[in-house]
Amino acid sequence: MNFSVKTIMRLWVAAALVAGLGACANTAPAPMSNSPLTGPVNTGTYPHFTPDPKGETAQFSPEQKQALIDRTNAAKAGQAGPSSDPALAARRQAEMQLLKKQQEEDLKTIEGK
């Protein structure tokens, strides 16, 4: 029996085609297809996917809170400038004017006028 190369190639292609189509016929069943449940079930609860968050640090006690507030207020008072108190600003301005007059008198004395 002499088969030509063309015939052998045709048989190879036919065998591959039959094997390929046979593999498609054996598909896996759908997941949960044998389950008695037919659809989603309302359980009345909300799904919980993550754990409850916890505090990363220890919480302040009322004494620590008050101490922190006192420290903050003291630092704030220490940073108050002259513009925060108008009477203090006016007094410093008067001191600067007096110093200016004294320096002008000293300059006149030095220059001899």
Average pLDDT, the chain: 81
- pLDDT tens digits for 12-66? 898 888 877 776 666 676 666 666 666 666 777 777 778 777 777 788 899 999 9
pLDDT at position 88: 81
Query: What pLDDT does residue 99 have?
Result: 95
First to last CA, the chain: 142
41 vs 4, which has greater pLDDT?
A: 4
Domain residue spans in the chain? Answer: 82-113
Write down the pLDDT at residue 81.
66
Query: Residue 5: CA atoms inside 13 Å, Cβ hemisphere, count?
Result: 0
Structure tokens at 65: 């809170």
